[in-house]
Structure 1
Amino acid sequence: MKTNIPVYDICSLTNNSKDDILISRFAHYLSVHKNLFIPHKHSFYHLVYFTQGGGSQTIDFEYVAVKPDQIYFMIPGQVHNWDFEGHVDGYIINFSAAFFQSFLLKAGYLDELPFFSGIVADSVIDIPADMQTIIPALFEELVKENAGEQLLKADMIRAILLKLFIAVSRLGNKHDNVPAYNYTLLRNFQKLIEKNYTTLKLPKEYAELLFITPNHLNALCSAMLGIPAGEVIRNRIALEAKRLLINRELGIAEIADQLNFADNSYFTKFFKKQAGVTPEEFRKHNHN
């Protein structure tokens, strides 16, 4: 697939082909990687905790204000860029999917964490006052452990990271009171969309794969996300269209074909209904 969107892996950021994790103070990271202010993608999991600074960032074309005591999480493939104001500092951690594979028996453990869903509203979290000492202390532990050469260093980093993930997961997760079965069903639906959004576009097709009725799937999405199942599917298709549209080497017809639309006209009508603008208008606005 043609692309002019930079896609970074950890190796390209550390110049070491064996690295599966990068831990750094954020101000130092920014001073080294000055090119990350333009829209780019990661092939790794990514999180930042801000201790100083302001401005904004966009995650998958959603604007988010930056402020101290805020943490955000990203999964591989999301489009991201920053527009900071003043001195910005904090902590940054990048790690590959493989980093935890040898440590956890549950291969899908990270997928169960609400902030690694790829949904921006669930991934940007303001840390409450009573945790604003605890969370930075965990990041400090990670920085110090990473700088040393103690026995089982990588496993200790994994253990501290898991402690951090659990602590953040407990901060007012809106799915806390949802039955475990419903939450698992929703995440399985979202995973199926991720794998099949170019070929399966109807709720009934996903309901069949989940062994439930379309009405059950719609009720689940409406209760947990506030939108019907069909809208969840269309939102994912529209998001991928936006990611492709910022690549000016791709024609509109090529994008329509990649997303499996019957023709360019149908794709344009779909995109305008979802995004409020035509593909050409979206591309022009984001290019400027």
Structure 2
Amino acid sequence: MKNDIPVYDISTFEEYKNAGILVSRFGHYSKQYLHLHSAHRHSFYHMVCFTKGSGSQTIDFKNYPVLPGMIYFMTPGQVHSWAFESEVEGYIINFSENYFKSFLYNPLYLENFSFFDEHSGDAVLVLPELTMEKVVSLFEEILHEGKEARPFDADLVRLLMLNIFIQVSRGLSLKQQPQTNSYNQTLLKSFKRLIETNFIELRFPKQYAALLYITPNHLNALCNDLLGISAGQLIRDRVILEAKRLLINMELSIAEISDKLAFSDPSYFIKFFKKHVGSTPDKFRKQDK
């Protein structure tokens, strides 16, 4: 079996101390792990705050500038690459999926932060100046805690990280209208979780509606109201994203990718991809080289 896109686990990094977390100044990290500049996946959460430098980065095939005062968040499985135009400085934290689960009563607590939802559009943010000052101070405290072993240092690092999440979320919430229906938001999150674990096998809204104990019409109305797209479109978008992630691995044939995505035959996969992306899988692959 040929390999997919390179997937890097947090335990492959030298600074990893079997605690599920890596914290570093970004300049050092970027120079030490040059292979991370090309397209790769993470099996962990990833957070970077830039304080200096310029360039661009790609997250799941969307391009973003690199700017001082910018922070971005990634969840496990996303595809990422960098292209810097000048020396870049800042902070980086990688942490495992289980890092907070033994610490927080609610194992889904991180879902309260929209920037950990890859569909929200909040994963790449330019922070207000005051928020940036607070966040930089918190990063410095985290780095200080990692210099030597002290009682409860791991717990304090978790608290400082949660403080970063809250500070960023508060700054973000000032620009957004408050959500009025928490039930609908919870239902949408449940739908997205189901898509993430079942999009290979389940392709129709009615299948997910049955798992959520609601009608297909209810599910579709929910997605249209909160996201402006249909439930079917959300499912298709996830299938297309996975297809793109697989296509950048030149070792996989179109037929193998079609099989991985459970299409009945490669020709149907090609038609599906061209209809929704606007180019054939082969053309997309060549353009992304």
> TM-score range, shorter-chain basis?
over 0.9
- 1:194 aligned to which of 185, 193, 196: 196
1:113 aligned onto 2:110: no
Give the aligned partner of residue 171 of structure 1: 171
In 2, Cα distance between equivalents of 1:192 and 1:114: 17
CA deviation map 1:159-186 (0-9, x unaligned): 1111111111222344732421111111
Q: Which amino acid aligns with 1:93?
A: I
**Helix, strand or coil at the partner of 1:98:** coil
1:39 aligned onto 2:39: yes
Q: Which amino acid aligns with 2:196?
A: E
- 2:229 aligned to which of 223, 227, 230: 227
Give the 5 Å matches for 1:1-288: 2-14=2-14, 16=16, 18-119=18-119, 121-173=121-173, 174=176, 176-287=178-289
Q: Give yes or no for contact 1:10–1:19 (8 Å, CA) kept in 2.
A: no
Q: Which runs of 5+ in 1 are unaligned?
A: none
Q: Give yes or no for contact 1:192–1:206 (8 Å, CA) kept in 2.
A: yes
CA deviation map 1:80-117 (0-9, x unaligned): 00001111000000000121121111111123321111
Q: Which amino acid aligns with 1:176?
A: P
In 2, Cα distance between equivalents of 1:263 and 1:11: 38
Q: Which amino acid aligns with 1:26?
A: F
Q: Give yes or no for contact 1:186–1:220 (8 Å, CA) kept in 2.
A: yes
In 2, Cα distance between equivalents of 1:224 and 1:2: 39
In 1, Cα distance between equivalents of 2:100 and 2:256: 37
Q: Which amino acid aligns with 1:50?
A: F
Q: Which runs of 5+ in 2 are unaligned?
A: none
Cα gap change, 1:212 to 1:278, in 2 (>3 Å): same
Sequence identity of aligned pairs in percent? Answer: 52
**Helix, strand or coil at the partner of 2:269:** helix
The 10-residue stretch of structure 1 (126-135 or 55-64) with the greater mean CA deviation from structure 2:
126-135
Q: Give yes or no for contact 1:189–1:206 (8 Å, CA) kept in 2.
A: yes
Q: Give yes or no for contact 1:112–1:187 (8 Å, CA) kept in 2.
A: no
In 2, Cα distance between equivalents of 1:4 and 1:207: 31
In 1, Cα distance between equivalents of 2:208 and 2:127: 36
Q: Give yes or no for contact 1:69–1:132 (8 Å, CA) kept in 2.
A: yes
**Helix, strand or coil at the partner of 1:171:** helix
In 1, Cα distance between equivalents of 2:140 and 2:50: 13
In 2, Cα distance between equivalents of 1:17 and 1:265: 47
Q: Give yes or no for contact 1:198–1:259 (8 Å, CA) kept in 2.
A: yes
**Helix, strand or coil at the partner of 1:133:** helix
TM-score (norm 2): 0.95
CA RMSD in angstroms, aligned pairs only: 1.5
Cα gap change, 1:74 to 1:193, in 2 (>3 Å): same
CA deviation map 1:111-140 (0-9, x unaligned): 332111123722111101231211111111
Aligned length: 287
Deviation, structure 1 residue 273: 1.6
